Amino acid sequence: MKKIEGGVCAAKGFTANGVHCGIRKNKVKKDLALVLSQVPASAAAVYTTNLVKGAPLTVTRENIADGKAQAVICNSGNANTCNANGLDVAREMCGITAARLGIRPEDVIVASTGVIGQPLDLTPIREGMDGLVKGLSVAGARDAAQAIVTTDTYAKEVAVEFELSGVKCRLGGMAKGSGMIHPNMATMLVFLTTDASIASEMLEKALKSDVQKTFNMVSVDGDTSTNDMVSIMANGLAGNPEIDGEGEDFCAFMKALNSVTMSLCRMIAGDGEGATKLLECRVEGARDEMTARIVAKSVICSSLIKAAMFGADANWGRVLCAIGYSGADVDVTKIDVSFRSPKGEIRVCTAGAGVPFSEEKAKEILLEREIDILIHLNAGEAASTSWGCDLTYDYVKINGDYRT
């Protein structure tokens, strides 16, 4: 398996485009994205757990209930959430897209992101659809990735090439996510595409399994969004024997999927609103995987730890504090904690107690852009990883006037 260029268009039979249609006042920013499969594809998605859900999620769930989709339409700048006519707008958005593409409205995955509670006027989308479709191309992946971002500082995309039964396949994706990022699923918008042939039920199984170890382990600010989901389309154009059950090919597909989603997780966490540092918390030595996940999540979600990392302060007591209130059944007298970055690694806690360490060396380590928080529970063989970012002054600035 190797990383390649192309994002959502790396796989055979996918084209994309992104344009500014007028939803956003800022004409420099693209606000409408489209991804199209040459043929109908197997489809699956996972949705936010927030009880307040955007209308596009409800419509997408309805549309891919048969396990099929052929296109993704997504706007930024307006979330189409908490609107009386939201469902009608989301369905009409599918209809506008389908009519121009010559496909069924039920084969469209629809998504929206942006301000909550603001009515979505479809006029810009309707008027921009012709140019959006005419501009579809294999080279359009980057434009599509740019069109789905909100407060992100850059477009996020990745792709890999791998083999299934000796046949080369590709899997790529694009994501948006900077604020309102918190477990559990979903915590962002992620669109994945592959030319691998896989039955829709196995595709759904793969996606649901993967997000437990990837997107459900990302937190920027503790707020679970209302509109976000992860979707995947698999059009089978690579020509591999269809994956219709467990086995070697399914495992290979899972590895490729995990490679893409983990890369996107790191991008999302590192690009958190106002963030200056990517934090990765690695928990080892847990009695079981669930314990490791609970501990990793608690640490990466701690505002005190995030603030300490912003200030390059090796305040390891906050790590133990977060473990202690996590709800995980751990022996706190066995916990070891270290901090690591490209500048080195330093042990700050052994067996639940502090050890002498150089504050100067610790500061040097924590001033780096990427920091690992290493925790060993010394109770078993299970492990888990979570991703987050530091908490900075700019986070408050960004969210203090996000709507106005």
| Burial (CB count within 10 angstroms: exposed 0-12, middle 13-18, buried 19+), residue 154 | exposed
Cα radius of gyration rounded to whole Å, the chain: 22
H helix intervals, 157-235 = 200-213
Q: Select from 58, 64, 47, 49 the least CA-distant residue to 83.
A: 58
User: CA-CA distance, 191 to 183, in Å (whole number)?
Assistant: 18
DSSP string, 269-313: HHT-TT---EEEEEEEEESSHHHHHHHHHHHHH-HHHHHHHHTT-
Positions marked active-site: 187
Strand-pair partners of 388:
279
Q: Which residues neighbour 371 within 8 Å (Cβ) at sequence distance 6 or greater?
A: 277, 278, 279, 280, 309, 339, 340, 341, 365
Please give the distance of CA 29 from its chain centroid, rounded to a whole number: 21
User: CA-CA distance, 35 to 76, in Å (whole number)?
Assistant: 15
User: CA-CA distance, 26 to 103, in Å (whole number)?
Assistant: 31
| Burial (CB count within 10 angstroms: exposed 0-12, middle 13-18, buried 19+), residue 390 | buried
Q: Are strands 167-176 and 156-164 parallel, antiparallel or unpaired?
A: antiparallel
Q: Are strands 370-376 and 278-286 parallel, antiparallel or unpaired?
A: parallel
Q: What is the DSSP letter of 159?
A: E
Residue 363's CB is within 10 A of a number of other CB atoms, namely 14
